[in-house]
């Protein structure tokens, strides 16, 4: 990307209404305005352009980025670390362990104790329905109070790196990939997106990806179809958001119980396994009660239920149903690939292979999306900041 | 804090005798002169002032800060990481594991192997009486030799992040908080400090906080009372230090076996659980012998002994005994809060709640105290260095 | 080291043919030309000189160094972290766990997912014969493709931090130490090196050090003797490399089954335990089959076999056999020291003690060797880059 193109994007950014992002958090996408979403996409592309031109994008001379993960995650960890590093923040990990769900005094105290020099906190907490998002908001409230009371010199920005409701950094990276693929956001109108369930030999996968897609891709004038076997419903409140988005954008949000129907003439397919919302609610309850037998029983039931739907696989035959047989295949990775990572899975090996490069590119947007969210929360005049970086052109590698 | 005030503190710092801190370590506070202590407080306040004015305090363009912890510690880890990051050092953790107490060849070798590019090593080793401080001094000796023999290009500074004898970074952060609370170190004279034992349902808590307080707060002309049930004695040599300090400072150091008596008219209260010194000595011995049955037996005895003193709780009634009912309540956190973190603990929920903001502020001083200790060991002319940072005024966030 | 001497080395570097190192990896030393090897030594010494002159050697304003370790390693971890920090890269660790040997899709995907902002990946994988090197090359191929396909903005350089075949960073650090000890590479010709097996009460130690020495030290005109009891053969293909090297360099590579014979008149001795190559091959096979009983049986056999050779110890008597009784004793550390770390081991306590300082110095070269490998892969004109650093002379500690 040449500097002129970067400068042009900075000018576009300057025309966006982003002032409410300053000193704010990034949680569910549906709480952000269209201009705020556009700003994130622009800043992500600008940061990428600067880095590719070997121009340093450090805006912090020192500062910490805290990662607060409920469970291990190589990809999310590296995305967050890359984003922080790109801006000049050093990452410190705080692993809370899987089992323990802290609340109240402990959350308040820990949030403040780790934040004395924290510019951003990235939280991933997607394991329990009704818990992850609530926990993030508890942390946000704690640092709000800490800042207000003079405990914290700065108020760290929170970024939702995946919760039980949404997966904003993933879905925005996916969508930026889609935008680049189709040559601009203006080309998305009228495209058909098939967000479909797919079979997996594991169970209990989070709902944040399908919910994130329903709550986000419906904003761009695309016709979004949610497809899953009966019993694999997502959260009704997120479906409602999808419906409202579609109404405003003048497009359709529909639900079907057939993968074939969803794939028919689709421009984009996103076949991916997830657990039924109600089962996840039940599991959260069993965990709270410490009911191990109940958890084991539920696991067996869910695996048996999954096994009834092995035909929900993204095969070559399925792909042929899509627009010209050439829909863009999306996945958040890692995928359950039939005959590669498992006997029967979400996608056929030949389909996955054909889309490997686009899939990796899809993933490559995430560090830039996270960095953009941080920058927009930390700089009152992000366009000025980015313009100064472009003009100074300090080499990233000297 | 405005820049004029920062400049004024730098001038005060220039008048202190700090030359022995250069290329030296920071272990027990009682081995540091009054001017050295004053220098740490000044540098901590100056660094905080600079950061709050968005002025970068990086003095290292590259370099490592090594954390060497015997056990996990979120707070200490983040304090040390924050201090290092503030000065431009990257943290590398070396976790040695709880069980293993290395000595001799292993310590000497490891100390050198991790120090080729280390500017500071922060050590926390508080679990075994008679071990933690000895271990730190072994590491110090090893890097002394390594530097002298030309193995190490620089001699990393050691900072005691908590040992069996003292907890200098905690106690100095506590005291800086007290100084700010009372509007200056000159206002501490004549204040009464109650360092008291308090009930906790756990056992084996380190003695480093009460010992640190006795060995440090007695230097400022404050009357320090140490209160605990019979059998919860701290190390006699630290009591002796407290006595000598008080004599020199012209104040009192007394011991009582009643929480009420200690709280009576106190300006500052620090109610906190700890294990009896003799029991900790015995425990260290049992661990050395690998006597698991003995350890379990001792644990049960100690818990039973604790349970006899559930009335040692910082309740509203207790607080009413203090000066105007408004003593400053201190705790190193986390506290055992009755009805919040346990059924019966060190402090009543309403007392803790009322002091939450001051408690968090107390903790906020620690990263700056650690950074000050490092800076004073690394710069021969710290006042010049800080003056240059102030004048250049490079933004921390550009 | 004065600046004039550094400048002189930079001029020497400028005369080397290093262009194939640019954007390349560093695996086995035997795939590098003499000029490339010389370049690494020069850059290592230049970086050390600059650091000792308090001149910053940051060439990265931001960027990540990924450490990908199969097992825990304090020394290697700190060496790699030090090297990255010296150049301005932040380290992110990816621990894959001991048990799991990933291949195919997983390696390809992970390699790309962690590399979006990675400038270097350091890999240590020495546990299984036939696996470590293969794994590194799989990662290299994956990032090659990722870069070619436009997934990765930059192609991270790979550095072999120890594999089943070679241990280039160790052996080059060892050799740079030898060069300094003897006052220049030109003084190595005709020196005798004894690379000998030594007894250890543990088993299964990697072969990478003896193989690395055979494959490298034979290039400098030194007569290299490989000594071990029968049954402790190293890989025949590496012996073949040693033979060819010696032929080209006009020196000798010989094999004996006697420690005494090897030590006789040696200038340099490297007594160190390793496992028989064939046993390691068998072990890899047993691990693949998950044959725990077989592994335990093999372990017992190997320990019994070792125990037959307790006389292979670097004692004072052995040292007396060397040139003037004063050969340079090398070890990669940690050593099994008789009466210190074990009852009977590789080296007598008095020998080890006498050589402790040189041993630590030997280790001190490794971070600089790693940093040199990275710099030569990242800068097309390293001499220009280093010259600019020297002239600007930005302080590392301001």
The predicted-structure confidence for B319-359, as pLDDT tens digits, reads as follows 999 999 999 999 999 999 999 999 999 999 999 999 999 99
> Which residue from B90, B94, B150 is facing C74, i.e. has the nearest CB?
B94
Residue B177's closest chain A neighbor by CA? Answer: A151
> Which residue from B90, B340, B394 is facing A61, i.e. has the nearest CB?
B394
On whether the pTM is more than 0.95, the answer is yes
Residue-level pLDDT at C99: 44
Encoded tokens for A338: 């039939």
Residue-level pLDDT at A102: 65
Longest Cα–Cα distance in chain B:
63
Domain annotation for chain C: domains and CATH numbers: 3-166+367-392 (3.40.50.1370), 168-363 (3.40.50.1370)
CB C49 within 8 A of CB C6: yes
Peptide bond into C334 cis (omega under 30): yes
Q: What is the mean pLDDT of residues B238-251?
A: 98
What mean pLDDT, rounded, does chain C reach?
95
Residue-level pLDDT at A94: 87
Q: Length of chain B in residues, anyone?
A: 398
Residue B299 φ/ψ, nearest 5 degrees: -60, -45
C42 pLDDT above the threshold of 90 = yes
Chains in contact with B, where contact means 3 or more Cβ–Cβ distances below 8 Å, are A, C
Distances, alpha carbon C180 to alpha carbons A91, C45, C175, C270, C334, in Å:
38, 10, 9, 17, 22
Nearest C-alpha of chain B: how many angstroms from C366? Answer: 10
Q: B153 vs C398: CB contact, 8 Å cut-off? A: no
Global ipTM:
0.95
CB C200 within 8 A of CB C346: yes
The predicted-structure confidence for A6-42, as pLDDT tens digits, reads as follows 999 999 999 999 999 999 999 999 999 999 999 999 9
The predicted-structure confidence for C51-78, as pLDDT tens digits, reads as follows 999 999 999 999 999 999 877 778 899 9
Query: Quick check: helix, strand or coil at residue A149?
Result: coil
The predicted-structure confidence for A334-389, as pLDDT tens digits, reads as follows 999 999 999 999 999 999 999 999 999 999 999 999 999 999 999 999 999 999 99
Residue B68's closest chain C neighbor by CA? Answer: C74
Q: B113 vs C74: CB contact, 8 Å cut-off? A: yes
CA A40/CA A14 separation, integer angstroms: 12
Residue-level pLDDT at B99: 43
Residues of chain A with pLDDT under 50: 98-99
Nearest C-alpha of chain A: how many angstroms from C171? Answer: 29
The predicted-structure confidence for B85-110, as pLDDT tens digits, reads as follows 999 999 999 876 544 556 678 899 99
Residues of A in contact with C97 (CB under 8 A): none
Q: What is the mean pLDDT of residues C381-388?
A: 98
Peptide bond into A334 cis (omega under 30): yes
Chains in contact with A, where contact means 3 or more Cβ–Cβ distances below 8 Å, are B, C
Chains in contact with C, where contact means 3 or more Cβ–Cβ distances below 8 Å, are A, B
Residues of B in contact with A64 (CB under 8 A): 81-82, 85
Residue-level pLDDT at A370: 98
- The runs of H, that is alpha helices, within chain A are 3-14, 34-52, 74-87, 105-113, 132-148, 168-181, 208-216, 236-249, 259-263, 277-289, 292-307, 316-320, 349-354, 356-364, 366-378, 382-392
Q: What is the mean pLDDT of residues C233-245?
A: 97
B232-246, B271-285, C218-232, C308-322: segment of lowest average pLDDT? B271-285
Q: Length of chain C in residues, anyone?
A: 398
Q: Length of chain A in residues, anyone?
A: 398
**Alpha-carbon dihedral A253, A131, A72, B80, rounded to 10 degrees:** 130
Residue-level pLDDT at A131: 86
């Amino acid at each position: 990307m040449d500097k002129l193109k970067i400068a042009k994007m900075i000018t576009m950014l300057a025309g966006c209404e982003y002032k409410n992002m300053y000193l704010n958090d990034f949680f569910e996408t549906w709480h952000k305005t269209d201009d705020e979403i556009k700003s994130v996409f622009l800043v992500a592309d600008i940061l990428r352009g600067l880095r590719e031109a070997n121009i340093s994008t450090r805006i912090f001379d020192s500062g910490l980025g805290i990662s607060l993960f409920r469970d291990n995650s190589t990809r999310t960890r590296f995305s967050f670390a890359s984003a922080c590093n790109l801006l000049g923040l050093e990452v410190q990990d705080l692993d809370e362990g899987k089992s323990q769900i802290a609340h109240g005094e402990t959350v308040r105290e820990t949030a403040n104790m780790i934040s004395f020099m924290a510019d951003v906190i990235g939280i991933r907490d997607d394991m329990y329905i009704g818990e992850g998002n609530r926990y993030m908001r508890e942390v946000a409230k704690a640092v709000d109070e800490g800042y207000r009371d003079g405990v914290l010199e700065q108020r760290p920005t929170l970024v939702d790196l995946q919760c039980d409701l949404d997966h904003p950094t993933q879905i925005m990276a996916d969508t930026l990939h889609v935008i680049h693929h189709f040559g601009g956001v203006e080309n998305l109108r009228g495209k058909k997106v098939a967000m479909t369930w797919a079979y997996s030999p594991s169970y209990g996968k989070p709902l944040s990806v399908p919910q994130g897609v329903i709550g986000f891709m419906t904003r761009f004038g695309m016709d979004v179809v949610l497809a899953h076997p009966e019993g694999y419903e997502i959260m009704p409140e997120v479906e409602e958001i999808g419906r409202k988005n579609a109404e405003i954008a003048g497009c359709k949000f529909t639900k079907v119980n057939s993968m074939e129907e969803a794939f028919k003439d689709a421009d984009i397919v996103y076949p991916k396994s997830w657990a039924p919302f109600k089962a996840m609610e039940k599991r959260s309850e069993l965990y709270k009660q410490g009911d191990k037998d109940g958890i084991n029983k539920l696991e067996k039931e869910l695996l048996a239920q999954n096994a009834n739907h092995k035909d929900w696989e993204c095969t070559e035959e399925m792909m042929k149903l899509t627009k010209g047989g050439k829909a863009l295949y999306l996945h958040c990775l890692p995928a359950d690939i039939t005959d590669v990572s498992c006997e029967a899975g979400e996608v056929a090996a030949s389909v996955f292979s054909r889309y490997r490069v686009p899939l990796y590119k899809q993933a490559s947007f995430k560090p830039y999306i996270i960095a953009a969210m941080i920058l927009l929360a930390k700089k009152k005049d992000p366009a000025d900041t980015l313009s100064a970086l472009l003009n100074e052109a300090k080499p990233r590698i000297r």
